[in-house]
Chains A and B, each alone.
Chain A
Amino acid sequence: MSGEGAFFVLADPEKCTGCRACEVACFAAHQKGVLKTVGTVTTPLIPNLYLTRTETIKMPIQCHHCENAPCLQSCLPGALERKDGSVVVNGKKCIGCRNCALACPFGAIQIIGADILPELGGAAPAFKCDLCPDRENGPACVATCPNEALRVVDTEEELREKRIRSSEAAEAIQGSSKGVQ
C-alpha cells in the first residue's frame, strides 16, 4: 500500500450485524506468534477497532489513516508514525496522554488504562487500526466478517472511478440530448 491516507477499512452499516467477529479477528491478528484458538489467549481481548451501536445503527469504527492525520499531529511524544501510508502506534513511545484520541474525528483510537490492562504495568498505549501490515491478504477484520460488511477502501481508485462514471454520465446525457434534436 502506498500513498498517504489512501487506504482504510469502511463498514457498511446495512450489512453489519454487530457480531464482533471483526474485533476478535483483529485481536488475534495482532498477537505475537501462532494464535488460532480461543484457548491460547491469556491476555484481555482488546481490539484495534470498535463496534459501535446506537438504537438504529451498528458498525465497527476504524481509523481512516487520514491525510495530514490530526492524531499524528497531536502526538507529543511522536508515538504515532506513518508507515506505508498507514498511521501506526509505536507502543514503546506512547505515554497514554489521550491527545490522539481527542484529536481523532472518528473516535477510532482507544487508550487502554492500567485499570483494564494491568498486564502492561502502568503503561497505557493507544489501540488503533494499523491495516494489518503483517497479513498477506489484508486486514483480518475484512477477511473474517461473515456478512462481507467490511471492505478496504482505496480512496485514489474510488476517485478515479467516480470521475470516469461522471464523464460517462455526461457523455450519455450529451448523446441523448443530441438524439432528441
Chain B
Amino acid sequence: MAVIQIDKDICTGCQECTKVCPVYAIEGNPGEAQTLVAERCVMCGQCVQKCKSYVSLIDHGPEMYNKKREERMLPETVREPLFAAHNVSHLAEVIKALGDPSLFTIVQAAPAVRVGIAEDFGLPLGSLASGKMAAGLRRLGFKKVYDTNFSADLTIMEEGTELVKRVTEKGVLPMFTSCCPGWVRYMENNHPELTKHLSSCKSPQQMAGAVFKTYGAKLDGVKGAKVYNVSVMPCTCKTFEAARAEMNSSGWQDIDVVITTRELGYLLKYKGIDLATLPDEEFDMPLGEYTGAGAIFGVTGGVMEAAIRTGYTLITGKELKDVDINAVRGSDGFRRAEIKAGDLTLKVGVVTNLKNIDPVIEQLQAGTLDAHFVEVMTCPEGCISGGGQPKLLSDTDVPEAYQSRRNATYDHDKALPKRKSHESGAIKKIYAEFLEKPNGHKSHELLHTSYKSE
C-alpha cells in the first residue's frame, strides 16, 4: 500500500531525501523528480521530514497549491506549505467516522504525540501536552479517549515475560523489540531468516486495537463491531502496520484508521479547536491509565528502560530501586549495557536509526552478538523524531526539537506517580478480569503475532 509518496510535480531532484533514507529506497537522477521504490521503503517518513521542495506560489501558482491540497484530501483549513515528499492522509476517513453516530469511536495517541502536537499550535518545541491533547481529542467528539501509553505498559508485561522465558528456557536470543513497524518490515524484507529473533509481541498500537474492540467494548457496554478505532501516531509506517491482514485478532481489523501527529493538528484546526488554550483533562479510565514506563516508549532506549524496570522484578521477584537506567539513554547509533538482576547479568543493546542496523545484523549472523535483548527504532531518535511528527521549517532547529521532546518525555516519566508497568492499576485489572496472565492463552490470541518467513 502507498504510504509515502514523492510528488513528481513538485520534486526538484535535490536528493536531500536520499541522504536520510535508511534503506536507499529513493532513486533518480539529480535535478529530476525522484522515485520511491515501494518494495524497499520502510515508510519511516524521514524523507517527509527532510523535504523542503514546496508548492511555490511564485513558480507553480496558487491553482497548483489548491489542486495539491485537494489531491491529498487535506481540509481547506490547511494553509501550510505542501512539500513533494508526503504521507498519504487518511484524515477524511476520521472526519467521516466522527460524523457517524452509529460508530463508537475510540482514539488512542502514542507517547511521542503529546510532546510534539503543541508545537503546531505555537507552543515551544517539546511542550508536554498530555492533558490538552486528551481535552482536544474529547472536543473532537471521540466517545472514549484511551491511550497507547496504556498498551505500552501492556507490551512491557508481555515482552518482559517473553524475554524472561527465552532467557530461562534457552529460547532464541537475542530477542529484538517489535514495536517499530519500519524495523519489522526491514527484517521481513531483508533478513526473513532472522525474524525468529523478533519478539512475538504486537506493537502497543496493535495491542490497544485488539483490547479496545474486545475488553474495552465490554467495559463500555458496546458491541466490538461498532467500535471504530482511531490511532494518532508520530509514525507514518503505523498506517501500514494497522492494515496488515493478520492484525484482526479482535474479530475485526483491530485499528480502523491511523493519522499522524501533524494530521491531528489539521483536524483540531479544521474543527476550530486551539489546543494551546485548552485546559488539562484526564484520559478515560481504565484504558487511558499509564505509568512512566509507558511514557518513555517515545524515546530511543525507552522500551528497553521500561522493560528493565519490570524485567528486573520478573527475574528477581524484587523491585528495582533506581528506575532511571541512564546506561540505555542517549542517542548513539548502537549502545550496550549490562544490568545485574539477581544471579543474571542481562546484556542489552539499543539501536537508534535504521542506518546503524547493518553492523548489528552482521554480528547476529556471525553469532557474535552477545546480548539477550536489543531494542531497534528506525527513526533517528526514536518515535519523537518520527515521520509524522511536526516538521521543522529549518533543519537548524531539529537538534533543539529532538532534545526538547526527549527532555519532556523523561520529565513526564519522572512526574508520574507510578513508573513501572507492572504497578499500573489498569494493567493489574485487565489481567485479573480478562487476560489472566502475561503470555497466557488469551494474550497469545490477542497480543502476539508471527512474521513472514519466520
Residue positions of A touching B, CB distance < 8 A: 17-21, 23-25, 27-29, 33-46, 50-51, 53, 58, 110, 112, 115-117, 140, 143-144, 146
Question: Can you list 5 pairs linking A and B with CB atoms under 8 Å apart?
Answer: A17-B15, A23-B52, A40-B120, A116-B62, A140-B394
Chain A residue at smallest Cβ distance from B400? A36
Residues of chain B within 8 A of A58, CB atoms compared: 12, 31
Contact of B56 (CB < 8 Å), options: A25, A45, A117 = A45
Map CB proximity to A onto B211-249 as digits: 1 under 8 Å, 0 otherwise: 000000000000000000000000000000000000000
Residues of chain A within 8 A of B57, CB atoms compared: 44-46, 112, 116-117
Given contacts A19-B14, A37-B390, contact A24 B119 (CB under 8 A): no
Given contacts A46-B58, A116-B57, contact A38 B14 (CB under 8 A): no
Contact of A17 (CB < 8 Å), options: B30, B65, B119 = B30
Chain B residue at smallest Cβ distance from A28? B393
Q: Is the CB of B52 within 8 A of A37?
A: no
Residues of chain B within 8 A of A140, CB atoms compared: 394, 396
9 additional A-B pairs beyond A21-B16, A21-B395, A45-B81, beta carbons within 8 Å, are A18-B12, A20-B53, A37-B119, A37-B125, A40-B119, A41-B80, A42-B80, A44-B62, A143-B394
Chain B residue at smallest Cβ distance from A116? B57
Q: Is the CB of B120 within 8 A of A37?
A: yes
Residue positions of B touching A, CB distance < 8 A: 12-16, 19, 30-31, 52-54, 56-58, 61-62, 65, 79-81, 83, 119-122, 124-125, 262, 265-266, 390-397, 401
Q: Is the CB of B124 within 8 A of A24?
A: no
In the complex, the 8 A-B pairs of residues with the closest C-beta atoms, listed nearest first:
A39-B120, A19-B14, A28-B393, A17-B14, A37-B390, A25-B394, A21-B52, A41-B80
Residues of chain B within 8 A of A50, CB atoms compared: 58
Q: Is the CB of A41 within 8 A of B394?
A: no
Residues of chain A within 8 A of B14, CB atoms compared: 17-20
State A34–B393 Cα separation when bound (angstroms): 12
Q: Is the CB of A27 within 8 A of B396?
A: no
State A36–B394 Cα separation when bound (angstroms): 7
Contact of A37 (CB < 8 Å), options: B53, B54, B392 = B392
Residues of chain B within 8 A of A146, CB atoms compared: 16, 19, 395
* Most-contacted residue by chain B among A19, A41, A140 (CB, 10 A): A19
Residues of chain A within 8 A of B397, CB atoms compared: 36
State A39–B16 Cα separation when bound (angstroms): 21
Q: Is the CB of B79 within 8 A of A43?
A: yes
State A93–B125 Cα separation when bound (angstroms): 36
Chain A residue at smallest Cβ distance from B266? A39
State A17–B15 Cα separation when bound (angstroms): 8
Residues of chain A within 8 A of B396, CB atoms compared: 25, 140, 143-144
State A45–B392 Cα separation when bound (angstroms): 14
Chain A residue at smallest Cβ distance from B30? A17
Residues of chain A within 8 A of B15, CB atoms compared: 17
Residues of chain B within 8 A of A143, CB atoms compared: 394, 396
Residues of chain A within 8 A of B62, CB atoms compared: 44, 115-116
* Most-contacted residue by chain A among B19, B30, B265, B394 (CB, 10 A): B394
* Chain A nearest Cβ from B204, distance in angstroms: 24
State A42–B397 Cα separation when bound (angstroms): 20
State A179–B351 Cα separation when bound (angstroms): 62
State A117–B65 Cα separation when bound (angstroms): 13
* Chain B nearest Cβ from A115, distance in angstroms: 7
Residues of chain B within 8 A of A46, CB atoms compared: 57-58
Residues of chain B within 8 A of A110, CB atoms compared: 58
* Chain A nearest Cβ from B446, distance in angstroms: 35
Q: Is the CB of B394 within 8 A of A42?
A: no
State A141–B392 Cα separation when bound (angstroms): 14
Chain A residue at smallest Cβ distance from B17? A19
Given contacts A21-B52, A50-B58, A115-B62, contact A42 B393 (CB under 8 A): no
Residues of chain A within 8 A of B266, CB atoms compared: 39
State A92–B404 Cα separation when bound (angstroms): 38
State A11–B122 Cα separation when bound (angstroms): 32
Chain A residue at smallest Cβ distance from B391? A38
* Chain A nearest Cβ from B140, distance in angstroms: 17
Given contacts A41-B81, A110-B58, contact A36 B53 (CB under 8 A): no
Q: Is the CB of A36 within 8 A of B79?
A: no
Q: Is the CB of A116 within 8 A of B58?
A: yes
Residues of chain A within 8 A of B393, CB atoms compared: 24-25, 27-28, 35-38, 41
Chain B residue at smallest Cβ distance from A146? B16
State A35–B390 Cα separation when bound (angstroms): 12
Chain B residue at smallest Cβ distance from A58? B31
State A24–B81 Cα separation when bound (angstroms): 9
State A27–B58 Cα separation when bound (angstroms): 13
Q: Is the CB of B54 within 8 A of A24?
A: yes
Q: Is the CB of A39 within 8 A of B391?
A: yes
State A35–B337 Cα separation when bound (angstroms): 39
Residues of chain A within 8 A of B81, CB atoms compared: 24, 38, 41, 45
Chain A residue at smallest Cβ distance from B77? A42
* Chain B nearest Cβ from A132, distance in angstroms: 12
* Most-contacted residue by chain A among B53, B58, B65, B121 (CB, 10 A): B58
Chain B residue at smallest Cβ distance from A16? B14
* Chain B nearest Cβ from A129, distance in angstroms: 15
Residues of chain B within 8 A of A41, CB atoms compared: 79-81, 393
Contact of A21 (CB < 8 Å), options: B31, B65, B394 = B394
Q: Is the CB of B12 within 8 A of A20?
A: yes
* Chain B nearest Cβ from A125, distance in angstroms: 14
* Chain B nearest Cβ from A134, distance in angstroms: 14
Given contacts A41-B81, A45-B54, contact A24 B394 (CB under 8 A): yes
Residues of chain A within 8 A of B390, CB atoms compared: 37-39
* Most-contacted residue by chain B among A18, A39, A144 (CB, 10 A): A39
Chain B residue at smallest Cβ distance from A21? B52
State A143–B120 Cα separation when bound (angstroms): 23
